[in-house]
C-alpha cells in the first residue's frame, strides 16, 4: 500500500518557503520537519505544472491539488465488487478472498479493478459495518448453535414453558420450540426438533456448557453426556460445546435468542396458552415470519439464505427419529442376567461378573460391552420377572430348559412300564413338576450303571412299596433287593393246638 500523502496545507507551506521566501531545500526541510526529498518532489511538481507563487497563493486546497496532480483526478475510478455477495460466498466451503478476488478480476477484465491488498482492505472495512453476530465467517452447513431463552412462557395450568432456540451459523436460520424444562431429555427433544425442522444434519452442534448436556465442562477437553453422544452418533454429527463463560463462541444463537424474545415471546405476552402443544402451535407461524424477514444490511432473509447456502450442505437425516435413551452401568449376575427396575434381562453367559452399559429407551433395553451391543430385549415393567433368550444360556442349561414332564415319562417308558409309572408318580408329588426334574434324571441315569432290566425291577419293587423316590430305587439297586426271589403268595394257616377254638365255640 503506498505511503500516505502530505496534506495540501503542508504542500502549500513547502511551496511558500521555496518559491516565495527563496529558502533552499535543506532550509525548508528543517523549518517544516520533512525530508529534502519531499521538498524536492513538490517543488518539481509545481515547476512541471508551470506554477509560481503568484499563481499558487490565491488557489484553495482543492484547486491546488487539481493543478499539481491532474492525472490523479482524471483517472477512471475502479469498479467495486458487491461486498454483500462476497460475504455470502465466503460462507461456502473452500471459498477464500483470493479466489473471490480472482473471479472479480475475471468478471471485469479490461476495466480498472482493485488490487488484492485494496480488495481485502475494502472487504474488511465493509465487514466492520455489519452486526457483531454477522462478523464471523461460518461455513455453509457447518454449525448449528443451540441454547435456551432466558424468559419463559406462562401456561394456564400454572406451569411455565421454556423456549429452546437454535440458529445456523451461515444463514442464521432460526428454530424455536416450547419445552417443559431444561433437562437432558428437553435438550434432546429441542435438538432433534431443530434438525427435522431444517430437514438435514450439520457437521457440528454447538451448545453451551449446561450440566444436562456436558458431563465434564473442561475448557480444553469437554465431554458430553452419554445420552448426548448417543444422539450425535444417531445423526452422524459432533457436539462441540462453547468455551465456559465465552458467549462470543455462540454469538449466532445469542443474537437469535434476542430476536426470538422480541419477535415471538413479546407477541405472545397477552395470549392465553393452555399447554405446550398450544404454545408450539402459536410459535409456529411467528417463527415462519421471523425467518422470512429481510435482513437490514444484507440481501435476502434467513429463509432465502438457508435455502441457498446451508440446506444444500446439510447431511441427510436418518430414516428414524432419535428415541431418547438413558444409560446405566449394570453388572451381570451369576445367573447371566442383569437387573433394571426390578426386572432381569439375560446376556451371554460368558459375561458373568462383567460390568455392562445398559441403554434404556421407552421400548427397549440394550446391553453394551465396550461399545458393542451384546443383548437387546423389549423393555418389561413386570417387577420380579425374567426375560431370557435361550442363546444366552450355557448348553447344559439350554438342554435342561427343553425338558418337559411328558418327555421324562416317555423316556422312562422306553426302559419299562414300571420306570415310566414311577417317574410320573415322582413328578406328581411336586406342585411345580420342574422341581422333580433332577430326581427323574438321576433315576434314569441309574440305567447306565445297573442296566435297564435291574432298573425296571427296582422301580416295580418301589411301586409295590408305594415309595416314589429316587433314593428308594437307588438303595434297592445298591442292596441287590431287585435280584431276590419274590415271596410266596400262598395263605398262611395256623397249626392245631389246644388253645384253638373253632366256629362251634361261638354258637
279: nearest Cα among 154, 446, 194: 154
Give the whole-number percent of the chain exceeding pLDDT 90. Answer: 15
CA distances from 102 to 84, 89, 99, 168 (A): 17, 13, 5, 29
Query: What is the per-residue DSSP string for 357-382?
Result: EEEE-SSEEEEEETTEEEEEEE----
Q: How confident is the model at residue 4 (pLDDT cuts 50, 70, 90)?
A: very low
d(CA 422, CA 446): 14
- DSSP strand pairing (204-206 vs 238-239): parallel
pLDDT at 169: 83
Q: How many C-beta neighbours within 10 Å does residue 394 have?
A: 13
Q: Which tops the pLDDT comparison, 125 or 92?
A: 125
d(CA 64, CA 57): 9
- Model confidence over 372-388: pLDDT tens digits? 889 999 998 888 888 88
Residue with cell 444422539: 231
Q: Which tops the pLDDT comparison, 335 or 458?
A: 458
pLDDT over 70 at 503, yes or no: no
Strands (E), 41-184: 143-154, 160-168, 174-179
Calculate mean pLDDT across residues 72-96.
74
- Model confidence over 194-231: pLDDT tens digits? 999 999 999 888 888 888 888 877 777 778 888 888 89
pLDDT over 80 at 63, yes or no: no
What residue spans in the chain does CATH classification 3.30.420.10 cover?
143-313
pLDDT over 50 at 405, yes or no: yes
Calculate mean pLDDT across residues 264-284.
87
Calculate mean pLDDT across residues 431-440.
73
d(CA 443, CA 420): 11
As a dihedral over the C-alpha atoms of residue 140, residue 146, residue 151, residue 153, rounded to 10 degrees, the angle is 90
Q: Which tops the pLDDT comparison, 196 or 300?
A: 196
Calculate helix-pair angle for 452-464, 437-450, nearest 10 degrees.
Answer: 130
Q: Phi-psi category of 158—alpha, beta or left, where left has phi over 0 and alpha has psi -120 to 50?
A: left
pLDDT at 197: 93
User: Which CATH fold topology does 143-313 show?
Assistant: Nucleotidyltransferase; domain 5 (3.30.420)
pLDDT at 69: 73
d(CA 395, CA 401): 10
pLDDT at 114: 86
- Model confidence over 150-199: pLDDT tens digits? 888 888 888 899 999 988 888 889 999 999 999 999 999 999 999 999 99
pLDDT at 57: 78
Question: What pTM did the predictor assign?
Answer: 0.55
164: nearest Cα among 134, 200, 203, 208: 208
Amino acid at each position: 500500500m503506498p505511503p500516505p500523502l502530505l496534506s495540501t496545507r503542508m504542500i502549500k507551506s513547502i511551496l511558500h518557503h521555496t518559491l516565495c521566501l527563496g529558502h533552499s531545500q535543506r532550509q525548508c526541510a528543517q523549518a517544516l520537519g520533512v525530508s529534502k526529498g519531499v521538498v524536492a518532489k513538490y517543488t518539481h511538481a509545481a515547476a512541471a505544472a508551470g506554477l509560481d507563487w503568484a499563481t499558487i497563493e490565491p488557489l484553495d486546497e482543492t484547486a491546488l491539488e487539481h493543478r499539481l496532480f491532474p492525472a490523479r483526478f482524471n483517472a477512471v475510478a475502479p469498479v467495486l465488487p458487491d461486498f454483500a455477495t462476497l460475504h455470502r460466498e465466503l460462507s461456502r466451503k473452500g471459498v477464500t478472498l483470493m479466489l473471490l478476488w480472482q473471479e472479480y478480476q475475471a468478471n471485469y477484465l479490461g476495466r480498472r479493478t482493485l488490487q488484492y491488498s485494496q480488495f481485502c482492505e475494502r472487504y474488511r472495512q465493509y465487514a466492520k459495518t455489519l452486526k457483531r453476530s454477522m462478523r464471523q465467517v461460518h461455513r455453509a452447513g457447518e454449525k448449528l448453535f443451540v441454547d435456551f431463552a432466558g424468559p419463559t412462557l406462562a401456561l394456564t395450568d400454572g406451569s411455565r414453558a421454556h423456549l429452546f432456540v437454535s440458529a445456523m451459523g451461515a444463514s442464521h436460520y432460526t428454530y424455536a420450540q416450547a419445552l417443559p424444562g431444561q433437562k437432558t431429555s428437553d435438550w434432546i427433544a429441542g435438538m432433534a426438533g431443530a434438525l427435522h425442522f431444517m430437514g438435514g444434519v450439520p457437521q457440528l452442534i454447538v451448545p453451551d456448557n449446561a450440566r444436562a448436556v456436558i458431563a465434564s465442562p473442561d475448557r480444553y477437553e469437554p465431554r458430553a453426556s452419554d445420552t448426548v453422544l448417543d444422539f450425535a452418533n444417531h445423526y452422524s454429527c459432533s457436539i462441540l460445546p462453547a468455551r465456559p463463560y465465552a458467549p462470543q463462541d455462540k454469538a449466532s444463537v445469542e443474537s437469535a435468542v434476542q430476536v426470538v424474545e422480541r419477535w415471538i415471546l413479546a407477541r405472545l405476552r397477552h395470549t392465553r396458552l393452555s399447554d405446550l402443544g398450544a404454545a408450539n402451535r402459536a410459535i409456529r407461524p411467528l417463527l415462519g415470519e421471523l425467518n422470512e424477514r429481510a435482513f437490514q444490511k444484507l440481501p435476502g432473509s434467513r429463509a432465502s439464505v438457508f435455502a441457498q447456502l446451508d440446506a444444500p450442505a446439510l447431511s441427510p437425516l436418518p430414516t428414524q427419529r432419535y428415541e431418547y435413551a438413558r444409560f446405566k452401568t449394570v453388572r451381570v449376575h451369576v445367573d447371566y442376567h442383569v437387573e433394571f427396575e426390578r426386572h432381569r434381562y439375560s446376556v451371554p453367559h460368558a459375561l458373568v461378573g462383567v460390568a455392562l452399559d445398559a441403554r434404556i429407551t421407552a421400548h427397549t433395553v440394550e446391553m453394551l460391552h465396550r461399545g458393542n451391543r451384546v443383548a437387546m430385549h423389549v423393555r418389561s415393567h413386570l417387577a420380579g420377572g425374567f426375560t431370557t433368550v435361550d442363546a444366552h444360556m450355557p448348553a447344559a442349561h439350554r438342554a435342561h430348559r427343553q425338558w418337559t414332564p411328558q418327555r421324562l415319562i416317555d423316556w422312562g417308558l422306553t426302559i419299562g412300564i414300571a420306570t415310566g409309572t414311577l417317574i410320573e408318580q415322582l413328578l406328581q408329588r411336586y406342585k411345580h413338576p420342574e422341581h422333580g426334574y433332577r430326581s427323574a434324571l438321576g433315576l434314569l441315569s441309574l440305567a447306565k450303571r445297573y442296566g435297564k432290566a435291574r432298573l425296571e425291577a427296582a422301580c416295580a419293587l418301589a411301586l409295590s412299596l408305594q415309595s416314589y423316590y429316587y433314593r428308594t430305587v437307588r438303595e434297592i439297586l445298591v442292596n441287590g433287593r431287585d435280584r431276590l426271589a419274590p415271596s410266596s403268595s400262598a395263605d398262611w394257616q395256623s397249626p392245631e393246638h389246644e388253645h384253638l377254638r373253632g366256629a362251634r365255640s361261638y354258637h
